[in-house]
Structure formats: C-alpha cells, structure tokens
Amino acid sequence: MNLRLYLISRGLIWQQIESYNKLINYQLISILKKIENEIWNYNSFLEIKFINTSMSIGTFFEKNIGNTVTPFHSRIKDTTYSIDIYSDLFIRINNKKKFINNNLIFKIPLMLKCNRCILYGKKEDFYIKINECPLDPGGYFIIKGTEKVILIQEKLVLNRIGIEKDKSGNFYSYVISSYKKRNTKSFIIIKENKIYFRNKIFIEDIPIFIILKAFGFENNLDIIDLIGYEFESTLFYSLTESLKIGFVNQFQSVCYLMQKLDIRFIETNKITFFYNESNYQILDHILSHIIVNKNPVSQNLEKGIFMTMMIRKLLYALQIPDLLDSKDYYGNKRLELSGDLVEILLEDLLHKSWIESKKFIEKKKIEVNETIYHHFIKSDFISYGIENAFITGNWKINKYGIDKNGITQILSRLSFMSSFSMLLKTSSNFEKTRKSISPRNLHPTQWRFICTSDTPEGESCGLIKNLALLSHISIQENDYFLAKVCNILGVDSKLSSIKTIKNYLNMTKIFLNQKLIGFHQFPSKFLFCFRNMRRSNLIESSVSIYWDSTMKLIWILSDKGRLCRPLYIIENGILKSKKKHLKLYSKKIINWNILTKFGFIEYIDSNEENNTIIADSLKAINFRSSHLEISEGNILGISASLIPFSDHNQSPRNTYQCSMGKQSASFLGFNQNSRIDITLSLLIYPQKPILKTKILNLIGAGKCPTGINTCISIMSFTGYDVEDAIILNKSSVERGFFKTAFLRKTKIEISSFRHLTQLFSKVNHNNKEVFEFLNKSNNNNQKITSNLKYSDNLVVVKYGLDLTLAKFLIRECRNPEIGDKFSSRHGQKGICGFIKPQQDMPFSEKGICPDIIMNPHGFPSRMTIGKTIEIILSKSGCISGKFKDGSIFKKININTIVKSLRSFGFVSNGEDFMYNGITGNLINNQIYSGIVFYQRLKHMVKDKIHSRATGIKSKLTYQPVEGRSKGGGLRFGEMERDCLISFGASELALDRLLLNSDCYEAKFDKNSGIIHTSNSNTNVVAVKIPYACKLLLQELQSMNIIARLNFNN
C-alpha cells in the first residue's frame, strides 16, 4: 500500500466536500433550532417551529419541459447553482396557531459533487451528457455564472496556554479565552521577581496569590504545592507581597478585585456586582472559557488549577527556554473549511433576519394568516446575503465579531492544475503588507502537512500555502463520549474541594480540548490503553493524544480543523500491515477505511508527533520506531509533485514552477469546447510528457496535458539566446508547435443590433433555439461591423423583461512569436528570442534538428540539475518507446540509460555530433541534446505590446492616461530623461517631455512675472510650459511663495 492507493480511495478534495455535506445534512437543522430557541427566549407567547425540513435543486423549462438545473446551465445562463431549503412552519402567537406547508426558507449555493449535487455518484456517461468533465474535482460553487472557491482559512487555537517574550526579552504566559463571541486575553507576568495577573478588566496588575485566594485557595501552602514545591524560593517574593496587603480569605480577595475593576468594562458589559459571600460574579469574567454552570465551586477550583498551570509553565520556561511557544507552530493552528465558514454566515443572516422581524413585531400587531411567515423568515434577505458574500468574498459576521476579506476567489481556469491546486490553498490572517519574516518562513511542524514549495512570489509569499498530498483535516468528535471513555480508563474527575485536589498533586492532569477533566496516576498506562482503543476503532482515528511529561499533562484533542496525516503503525519493531493486506487492497476486496479500522494505519497531528519516532523507510525501522512514513513524496503538494526530479533542483526553481505550471496553455477538460469563460488559452496539439511522476495519472492530470515534448539542444547559437532567451525552429512552428487557441468571452445587447440572422449565420449552426429567437428579434436594418467569422458557443441570456444579451466566444489562433514566454517544468522560464528557419538550424548526424535551442549559461546559476536528467532520461524513453518515472527521490540507474542509448546508436552521455546549418561544417564540440517537456505560458506579446502617438489625456494633469486598455501613453521617466541628456539629444527630450505630454500655453504678466488672471491682454506673454509646472506655480502661490518669470531680457 502506498500513496497511489490512498489517492484512489479518498482523492484530494474530499475534506472540502465532506465539510459541506455535514453542513447541509446536519448543521442546517441545528441552526434552525437555535433560531427557534432565540424566538422563544424573546417572548414565550410567540413560538415558531421548523418541521420536516427538505431540499431540492431548482428547475428550468425548455420547450415547456421542466429540467433539473445543472452546473453547465448555471454557467452559461449566469445564474447561481443553488439548492432551495423548504420547511413546514408551525406558528403560535398567544393562543392562535397556524400550520403552513412547504415554505421556502432560503436558497443556499450548492457545492459541486457534494451529496446533494446532481453530479454526486454519477458515471462518466452522465457527465458527458450534461456537458461536464468527469475529471473535474468539484469542491467549488457557481455564483451568477462565475465559478467561486472558498479558501481554507487559518486561525489560532483558543483557550490554550502559550509562552512568549515581550520587547524587553521578558517571558510571560498567556491564554486567549473565548466564550459567547467574546475573546479575552489573560497574562501571567513577572515584575521585580513578583508574579502578577494581568487582564483588561482591571486597572492594574493583580498579585497572583490574591487572585488564587479569590478562586478559593485560601491556604498559601496549598497554592505553592499546586504550582510546584520546587519553585518555593521563586514564589517567596509574591507571597510576601500578598501578606503585606493583608487579605487572607476568599471574600476579602474578591472585594480587592472589585476595587481594581475598570469602570469602562462595567459600563460596556452592563454588569452589577453584589458585595456578599454567595455571589462572586466577577470571577466569571476571568478565564471565561472555563464554565461549569451546575457547580460554581468546581468552576472556581478548575480556574485556579488552570492558573497555577500557567504559572508553572512560565517558571519552567525561565529554566528551559525551549518551552517558548511559536505562533507559527501548527499545533496552535486550526483550519476552517467551506462548511464551517458558510455555517457561521448562515447563522448570522438568520439572526439578522429575526432582529428585523422583532422590530416589526414591536411596532405593529400581527394577524395570524397565510402570509405571517414573511414577518419571521425573510427568505430573499437571507438568500441575497449569502450570494453577496460569495460574490464579494467579504465575511462580516457581527455575532462572532468576524470581519474578513478575500474568503472567496474566482476559480482559475487557466489549466487543469490551476483549478485543482486552488481548492487546496490555505490563507493566513496575517496582513500581506507587513514585512515580518517569521510568519512567512517554513516551520518544522509544517513538514508533510504543508507543501514546502508551493507558495506565490511577492507580498503573499509564505502566507498563501497549499496542503500536502496526505494532509487530513479533522472533524469535530463527541466530547461527552471521550470524557466517559477517560473515566472508564481510570481518570478521577472529582473536584469537590481543595482537599481532594491535594490528593492529586503527584498525578498527571488530563485535558480534553483545553478543559480539565481529571487526574490519572499512571499516565503511560492510560496512553497505552487509549491508543489501543483508537487502533481498535473504538475511538475515531483522528482523535489526538499526547503527553507533556515536563508539565505532567496529557492533552486529548478532538476538535475540528487540526491538520493530521496517516502513518503505518509499528509494534515492537514490526510493521503491522503485511503483504497479504496489500494484495487484498490491490484486488479492491478491502479499501482504505477498512485498513484504518483494522489498526494498520492511524492519523497523527503535529502535537502527537512529539511523542512518536517515525521511520522514513523500511530499512530504518528499529525497536524504538513507532510509525513508518507512507510515501517519501508526501512532503509536496499537488503542483510541486508534478515536477520531475524536484529533489535535484534549487528550491526557488520548484517554487517558480508551481506558479508557472498554473499559467500554461493546456487541454482544460473534456468540456472545454462547451465552456464560455472570460478567457481561455487552449493548446491545440497537447502531448503527454514522456517523463512522468506518479501523481500525474492519479489526479487525472495525465489526461489534461499542459505542454509538448520538445527536442532541445544546449548550445550558444547566433547570440539571440542570451539571458534565458530561446531560439525556435520555424518549421516546427509551421507544423503546429505550441499553436494555441485564445478565446475571449463577449456580450452584446440583442436589441441594439439588426440583421441578427446574417450576423450569426456562421455560429452554432445546430442551435435551433438561438435561431428561432434571432428570427423573432430581426426587425430593423442597422448593420454591425464586428467580425464574428471565428466565433463559438452562442448563448442568448435574458436578464429580466427588458435586457437580453447574446454571449459568445471570439476565437483567435496564435502561433509562437518573438517575445512569447516559455518554460520547462524546472522553473527555467525564457522568452522566444528568434525564430530560425530550419535550413539554418544545426542538425545531428542522424538528421535530427532541434525544436528549441537553449543557452548553456542558464544552468550554473539556476542549478536545475533535474532538467539535465530529464533531457537524457526522456531521450532514452523516446527512442525505446516507453514512459519514464521521474518522481521525487526516485533512484536513477545510469547503466540502464547508457545501455539504452548505445543500443540505438547514440552517445552514452547524451551528447551528439552536430553540423552548422549555415556553413555545413561539423561543430567542434559535442552538443548535449534530448527531450524536455516545455510549456507555453499565458504571457504573450499580442496581449502586452502597446504604443501610441496621440490620444486620451487626463483632465486633471493634461498628461496621457496610463494603461493599455485605456489607450494610454508610455511612461517616459526620470532615468529615460537622463539617457537623453547624456546623449545630448535635447530636442528629443523636449518632444517627449513637453510637446507629446502636457504642453500648455500659460499667460504671464510681463511686469510681475506671475500667472495672468484678468481678462485684459495688455502686458501679457504666452509661454509654453508643462501643465504640471503651471500647477506647481499656482500651488506655491497659494502658500504665499511666489515664483516669478523674468521677461526683462
């Protein structure tokens, strides 16, 4: 069993789809229950219940026949592919009741390939029938005809103790407590050898012994024992301070805390406190994430224990600086998937809808009739709110205090790989404009969870990342069940008094999702039993458990959003899975989930990795080993895993290829001829690469190639190949080498054109519906000058009653030309420097003429050794007629390559004797030549070349506007001006900077030398100056600084 078997069983996008399935099937009902409770809590005389909630995809009518809306129909008609949520409503106001059947509550966008989608579980024939590509991974949405994807969002985990340094280099511990949409940060700090508690609700720092006494720990010795008697000398100064203050019991300490409260906090939260021994409301706002509603005594004791843990960890960090936490540590991060993000958005919109309804109820009495539900559930408001959030990408959730931008992005359709990779992209909350290096660096805990190569260049570098191939994002598990399991395994959870806690001082504390659930005397025994239960499938495989022996803690994590990865299990130095299991798997008798249930594989997160010893190969297994890696190549993501021999390349080159592989002209999918995208760049003669990686075919990318196998020679030739430029063979270009079809979407308003039947006579001859519509619309005689001779996929789209648009693609075939950009799969990009006739190109003694000539000076500084291996290995594969494997860490057998080349009469080292095509003489040196898989990128000269003589000028500055799309001018900057001055070309400088820019005839007063403002023309001199100069003179004049021109001479 290997990486191939995992990907066949589960795929790569399954976690995004599974997250949305959970929302649609389960979370939706719980959200409606919350709204029911919110209405009931507002007024007990008012009740609303959602009964028998159902869902259905919309229908459209064609020739009076109703059809289910498909993703393809939503794309071409510019509609949203959504599902309608219906429910029966029971409404009671006072004693009047009403039952309304099958009401539309709202519409929610539907993720492609979720279990409610029309594509779910269908075979290839069905996909082709409805114009969909069977290789499409799904996991995205269609909003107003545009494909949108929700990026996976990173966030810091809450309610966890952390250790950091301040600007002065002093250590402090902190915890961010989250409760009821409020996050509060609490600190334990050290000042002058004394320990204090800091929180924004207090006007000053509180001595630590006083706040622990407020939690009920009145005996100083008990506090020292809880923190650790080894720190008794360190705690002496803090104890002395509390004794000087003189508070000895809980009531006195609470009174002290109330005196130190910040008045602004009391007013903002509208809190009233009572000075009596039975009500300590103030303690609820300290470490607010620890809530035990039934027993306030247990709650305060638990908070006190948590605070002593914060102190203990801080004091240990002073002795062991390695305990310092990093915000980039992936154990402290959680990932939010599409289902989680849509869930909080939907909950917030329903809450806003109810608030609006509440205002209406308070102003006006409501009658119980058929339209009453419109006052409670504003379906249009909710549906529009969801759709608008998807369009803008702005998630503004008032209920949870969330305001994020860029949550959704348009799905890139430049190539098959670009769309696939985008679905695995993760986005950080860190601001891109900040220059901090730490969040952008690779952290050791990203190893095999996050791709080490795939990240963009520029300001997003290191902040936008991609998941590795085997990354698994955990889902929420049942905490109550896990707590019961822990009790069965001997965890003592009685926290009735301080005396019982003192009995547990030497025991290990057990935490479940940052909450203390009890103590255990034998931690190693507990760990062994818990992990055995997980491997026996009694506990979910993604639940994590790890032991912090320094702090005497065991952490059990079952929350959602943790990054995990599968590993083979090793017991007593022996791998549990055997060859017979692999055979059963290969015969499809058992699948990946069954192997997990058998206990051959388990999921480990970055926290539990600290308790494991992982062998990277079978040879490395010993008696200390606990796990074995599934594959060597799972350190990479989907884009980087397609680079052949990437372990032989310089790291930045792999990063460049991850970006450029998504920009190449390619075969997009089986439905590319039916799509109407904004722009498409399709390769007309794509080829499968001779040198492949294992991942290529597993994800379907082998059926959607992105380039051509190119015959290349590495040599200096004519000088047109310097600085990474390449020389192309003209005959190869004429034969269709890298010929692409460039398609651009265009919309026109039907009512503004005439003779529409003639206009579209060469478009979609078989589209009868379109021609029927056009014949009805053909009333006038106005002509159109647009040339639609090469147009595809005409679709008529109606927007309301008044506006009807014709939407179609304009197709343009493009051959490579000088200036177009090309790239190999090793990040070696270059433009076409010259297209040479074949008769002038060098050729080998076998008559082979290269398609591309590349300069050898491109190798030393780039260090792309993988490319040199690809040249000779692809050459061997080409002459033997076999595909070759270039996966990462693949061992190369040099002897096999040498024998293959020699058997077909080639030189064993990959070099060939070549002749100069111009002179016919033998070139003195042998030329290294072979096959490389090249890509043509979207950056083409035809889209970028720009020049103009005169044109539009800005009304503000009188200078030519900027930008190719506006017909703007070319910027002539300061450095260009310096060049003209150095050449002495003063007339040319005058022409560029004045006459062809912002030349303006300003009128000056001859006597005063300032700009003339009156209407009289006496004593006026007209001078041609730049308009910017005229503005400068006027601005200086407004500041009482007068610049005069002297006209005396």
DSSP 309-337: HHHHHHHHHHH-GGG---TT-GGGEEEE-
Share above pLDDT 90 across residues of the chain, in percent, rounded to a whole number:
37
Cα separation values, 490 from 417, 485, 517, Å? 51, 9, 12
Retrieve residue 764's tokens.
Answer: 């979609």
pLDDT band at residue 761 using 50, 70 and 90 as cut-offs: very low
For residues 347 and 367, membership in a common domain is answered with: yes
Q: Is residue 539 part of a domain?
A: yes
pLDDT band at residue 280 using 50, 70 and 90 as cut-offs: low
Lowest mean pLDDT among 664-678, 794-808, 911-925: 794-808
For residues 801 and 821, membership in a common domain is answered with: no
- Name which of 411, 886, 885, 416 is nearest 686 in CA terms: 416
For residues 89 and 208, membership in a common domain is answered with: no
Q: Is residue 802 part of a domain?
A: yes
- 190 burial via Cβ count (<10 Å: 0-12, 13-18, 19+): buried
Q: Which pairing describes strands 141-143 and 146-150: parallel, antiparallel, or unpaired?
A: antiparallel
Retrieve residue 1001's tokens.
Answer: 């005839």
For residues 720 and 783, membership in a common domain is answered with: no
Q: What integer pLDDT is reported at residue 784 of this predicted model?
A: 32
Judged by DSSP in three states, 889 sits in coil
pLDDT band at residue 781 using 50, 70 and 90 as cut-offs: very low
CATH assignment of the domain containing 924: 2.40.270.10
The gap from C-alpha 616 to its chain's centroid, in whole angstroms, comes to 29
Retrieve residue 831's tokens.
Answer: 């433009």
pLDDT band at residue 774 using 50, 70 and 90 as cut-offs: very low
Q: Is-contact 196 209, C-beta < 8 A?
A: no
Distance CA 247, CA 244 (A): 8
For residues 733 and 850, membership in a common domain is answered with: yes
Distance CA 333, CA 322 (A): 19
Q: What is the mean pLDDT of residues 874-899?
A: 91
Q: Which pairing describes strands 691-692 and 884-885: parallel, antiparallel, or unpaired?
A: parallel
Distance CA 781, CA 708 (A): 48
For residues 147 and 240, membership in a common domain is answered with: no
For residues 200 and 278, membership in a common domain is answered with: yes
Distance CA 439, CA 282 (A): 37
Residue 567 has pLDDT above 60, yes or no: yes
Q: What integer pLDDT is reported at residue 789 of this predicted model?
A: 35
Q: What integer pLDDT is reported at residue 1036 of this predicted model?
A: 93
Helix axis angle for 296-319 and 220-227, nearest 10°, is 60
Q: Which pairing describes strands 96-109 and 82-93: parallel, antiparallel, or unpaired?
A: antiparallel
Q: What integer pLDDT is reported at residue 800 of this predicted model?
A: 60
Residue 275 has pLDDT above 50, yes or no: no
The contacts of residue 917 (CB under 8 Å, 6+ apart) are 838, 839, 840, 841, 842, 843, 849
Q: What integer pLDDT is reported at residue 808 of this predicted model?
A: 79
Lowest mean pLDDT among 13-22, 25-34, 101-110, 320-329: 320-329
- Name which of 471, 472, 473, 467 is nearest 639 in CA terms: 467
Look up residue 858 and give its DSSP letter: G
Q: What integer pLDDT is reported at residue 13 of this predicted model?
A: 86
- For residue range 605-638, what is the model confidence (pLDDT) as tens digits? 999 998 999 998 888 888 889 999 988 888 999 9
Distance CA 894, CA 555 (A): 50
- For residue range 733-759, what is the model confidence (pLDDT) as tens digits? 999 999 999 988 887 776 544 444 444
For residues 707 and 836, membership in a common domain is answered with: yes
The gap from C-alpha 159 to its chain's centroid, in whole angstroms, comes to 25
- 276 burial via Cβ count (<10 Å: 0-12, 13-18, 19+): exposed
Retrieve residue 391's tokens.
Answer: 């369009």
Lowest mean pLDDT among 271-275, 288-292, 415-419: 271-275
E strand spans, 803-899: 803-814, 821-824, 829-836, 843-844, 852-854, 884-885
pLDDT band at residue 23 using 50, 70 and 90 as cut-offs: very high
For residues 582 and 622, membership in a common domain is answered with: yes
Q: What is the mean pLDDT of residues 228-239?
A: 85
How many CA atoms within 13 Å lie on the side-chain side of 136? 30
- 12 burial via Cβ count (<10 Å: 0-12, 13-18, 19+): buried
- For residue range 933-989, what is the model confidence (pLDDT) as tens digits? 999 999 999 988 888 888 889 888 889 998 888 888 888 889 999 999 999 998 999
Q: Is residue 315 part of a domain?
A: no
Which of 264, 288, 312 represents a domain boundary (last residue)? 288
Residue 164 has pLDDT above 60, yes or no: yes
SS (H, E, C) 563-591: EEEEEEEEECCEECCCHHHHHHHHCCCCC
Number of domain units in the chain: 5
Q: What integer pLDDT is reported at residue 433 of this predicted model?
A: 81
Which of 254, 288, 322 represents a domain boundary (last residue)? 288
Which of 793, 814, 835 represents a domain boundary (last residue)? 814
Q: What is the largest CA-CA distance in the chain?
A: 107
Q: What is the mean pLDDT of residues 895-916?
A: 90
Q: How many CB atoms lie within 10 A of CB 870?
A: 28
Q: Is residue 362 part of a domain?
A: yes
Distance CA 255, CA 203 (A): 14
What's the start-to-end Cα distance of the chain, in Å? Answer: 94
For residues 725 and 856, membership in a common domain is answered with: yes
Q: Is-contact 172 189, C-beta < 8 A?
A: yes
Q: What integer pLDDT is reported at residue 1032 of this predicted model?
A: 93
Cα separation values, 462 from 438, 605, 652, Å? 9, 21, 13
- For residue range 603-614, what is the model confidence (pLDDT) as tens digits? 999 999 989 999
Distance CA 374, CA 380 (A): 10
Residue 799 has pLDDT above 70, yes or no: no
- 925 burial via Cβ count (<10 Å: 0-12, 13-18, 19+): exposed
Residue 294 has pLDDT above 70, yes or no: no
Q: Is residue 1035 part of a domain?
A: no
Higher pLDDT, 500 or 445: 445
Residue 278 has pLDDT above 50, yes or no: no
Residue 763 has pLDDT above 50, yes or no: no
- For residue range 111-131, what is the model confidence (pLDDT) as tens digits? 999 999 999 989 989 999 998
Q: Is-contact 253 300, C-beta < 8 A?
A: no
Q: Is residue 796 part of a domain?
A: yes
- For residue range 451-493, what is the model confidence (pLDDT) as tens digits? 999 999 988 899 999 999 999 898 888 888 998 999 999 888 7
Residue numbers of the domain that contains 347? 13-155+335-435
Q: What integer pLDDT is reported at residue 762 of this predicted model?
A: 40
Q: Is residue 963 part of a domain?
A: no
CATH assignment of the domain containing 66: 3.90.1100.10
The contacts of residue 11 (CB under 8 Å, 6+ apart) are 137
Q: What integer pLDDT is reported at residue 839 of this predicted model?
A: 94
Q: Is-contact 512 290, C-beta < 8 A?
A: no
- 894 burial via Cβ count (<10 Å: 0-12, 13-18, 19+): exposed
Residue 766 has pLDDT above 50, yes or no: no
Distance CA 977, CA 184 (A): 57
- For residue range 40-77, what is the model confidence (pLDDT) as tens digits? 777 667 778 888 888 888 777 666 667 888 999 898 88
Distance CA 203, CA 736 (A): 76
For residues 650 and 532, membership in a common domain is answered with: no
Share above pLDDT 70 across residues of the chain, in percent, rounded to a whole number:
87
- Name which of 154, 512, 542, 151 is nearest 332 in CA terms: 154
For residues 693 and 830, membership in a common domain is answered with: yes
Q: Which amino acid is at 1029?
A: C
E strand spans, 800-828: 803-814, 821-824
Element (H, E) at 628: strand 627-628
The average confidence (pLDDT) of the chain is 84
Q: Is residue 392 part of a domain?
A: yes
Q: Which pairing describes strands 614-615 and 627-628: parallel, antiparallel, or unpaired?
A: parallel
